Amino acid sequence: MFNEILNTLYTIDHFPTCPALKNIILDTAGSADCKDKKSLAGLAHHISFDPSMFIEFLKIANADSFGYRKKISSVNNALLILDDELINLIISQHPLMPEIPSYQALFRDYMLIIKHTIEVRIILQNLLDGVLINATADENERDELIAASVIHDIGLLFLLLYFPNEYRKSVSHNEFNPAGNAAVPDHAFIGSILCEYWHLPYSIRVSAAFHHYPWLADEKIRKGAEMLYIADSLSSTFYDIFYGESDVYSFEEHIVMKKQLLDITEKYGIEMTDIALIREESLLHTEKIMDDIGFSSPAA
Ligand SMILES: [Fe+2]
Ligand SMILES: [Fe+2]
C-alpha cells in the first residue's frame, strides 16, 4: 500500500475542488477588475479558502514555461503576472469532485479539512500581525508562511480523496492510539512530495513537511515550520479531525499537555493569554467565513 500511495502521487496534476468553493471563486472572478490591485487582492483572498485552487495558481505561476526566475509565493503575486483570460480559464476549468455516493460520504471530512485550513491561515495571520510581528519582518517570508498554511494538509486531502480507507487509519493514529498504521505514509510527507512535484517554492514545501515535527527540521528552515506548528496546534478543527471521537481529553487539556508546543511558544514569547485570545478570535472569524461560503458547521 505504501508504494501504491507513493506511485499515485506522481499522477495527480490537479486536485478536485467542491462546487461551493468553486462557485464563490467564480463569482468573485466574474466581478473582479484585473487591472485593479485591490480587486485582485479580494479574489486572492477567496482563492485562499480552497487549497486545491490555491495550488493551481502557484503551480502555473511557478511553471518553467513562464520563465520567471523568482519563485511566486502568493496567489496575489500569481494573479498580477497572469492575464485575466488565463485567470478565468484556470478557475472555470478547475475539476470538481465527482458527485458519486462514495465522495458524498467523505464530504464531512472534506469540510473539516477546509475549515481547519482556513482556521490555521487566520491564526497564523493573527500571530504574524501580533505576537510574532518581529519574528518575520520580511514580506516574502510572510507570503511563504501564509501559503504554507493554506497547503499544509494537502497530504490529508490526498489521502481522503484517493485512499479513503487509509485516510481513516491515518487520522485514528494519534497519542490515544499510538499503534497507528505504518503502512500509510505520513500526510505531511505526502504533502511535501506533492509540493516538490508541482515545483512550489522550497520554503513552502519544507514548512509543510515539518508542520507536526518542526524540531526535526534543519535549523536554517526551522522557524517557518515552528510557526506553522503553533498555528496548526491551536486550531480547534485540528482537534476535531484527529480527536473528534475521543472523550479522553478536552482541547484545553490537550494544549497544556503538548510540551513541545509550550516550549516553542515560550521561545517566541507567546503567553497563554495571547493564545486564548487569538484562538477565540480566529475561531469566530473562521465560522463567519464558513457561513459566508455556505458551509454549515459539520456536526462533531
Ligand atoms: Fe497536518
Ligand atoms: Fe493541519
pLDDT tens per residue, range 50-95: 999 999 999 998 887 666 667 888 999 999 888 889 999 999 999 9
Residue 167 CA, ligand 2 centroid: distance in Å? 14
137 in the same domain as 241:
yes
Pair (107, 84) in one structural domain: no
Residue 300 resides in a domain: no
Which protein residues have a CB closer than 5 Å to ligand 2 (ion)? Answer: 153, 232
Is residue 10 included in any domain, yes or no?
no
Whether 8 is covered by a domain: the verdict is: no
How many domains in the chain?
A: 2
Whether 126 and 28 share a structural domain? no
User: How far, in Å, is the centroid of ligand 1 from the Cα of 153?
Assistant: 5
Q: Which of 65, 93, 121 is the last residue of a domain?
A: 93
Q: Give the tens place of pLDDT for each residue, 57-68.
A: 999 988 876 666
Residues 75 and 113 grouped into a single domain: no
pLDDT higher than 60, residue 181: no
* pLDDT above 70: residue 150: yes
User: Which comes out higher in pLDDT, residue 200 or 36?
Assistant: 200
Domain span holding position 73: 17-93
Which pLDDT value is given to residue 122?
94
Q: What is the pLDDT of residue 254?
A: 66
Residue 287 lies in a domain: yes
pLDDT of residue 179: 45
The answer as to whether 132 is a domain residue is yes
Q: Does 146 share its domain with 284? A: yes
State which of 37, 64, 93 marks the end of a domain: 93
Indicate if the pLDDT at residue 239 is higher than 80. no
Question: Rounded to the nearest whole angstrom, what is the distance from the C-alpha of residue 121 to the centroid of ligand 1?
Answer: 13
pLDDT at 2: 74
Of 73, 93, 113, which residue is a domain's last? 93
pLDDT band at 177 (very low <50, low <70, confident <90, very high): very low
What gap in Å lies between CA 68 and CA 205, rounded to an integer?
19
Q: Are residues 135 and 270 in the same domain?
A: yes
Counting ligands in written order, which one lies closest to the CA of residue 209? Answer: 1
**Residue 41 and residue 64 share a domain:** yes
Question: pLDDT band at residue 117, thresholds of 50, 70 and 90?
Answer: very high
What separation in Å is there between the alpha carbon of 81 and the centre of ligand 1? 31
Asked if residues 160 and 109 have their Cβ atoms less than 8 Å apart, the reply is: yes
State how far the Cα of 62 lies from the Cα of 147, in Å rounded to an integer: 13
Same domain assignment for residues 144 and 226: yes
Q: pLDDT category, 272, cuts 50, 70, 90?
A: confident
The answer on 182 and 106 residing in a single domain is: yes
Q: Per-residue confidence at 236, pLDDT binned at 50, 70, 90?
A: confident
Residues 167 and 55 in one domain: no
- Asked whether residue 25 is domain-assigned, the answer is yes
Using DSSP's 3-state secondary structure scheme, residue 136 falls into coil
What confidence tier does 249 reach under pLDDT thresholds 50, 70, 90?
low
DSSP per-residue codes, 79-111: HHHS-HHHHHHHHHHPPBPP--HHHHTTHHHHH
Is pLDDT larger for residue 17 or for residue 2? 17
Q: Which amino acid is at 244?
A: G
* The residue to which cell 458519486 is assigned: 100
- Mean pLDDT score across all residues of the chain: 83
145 and 213 assigned to the same domain: yes
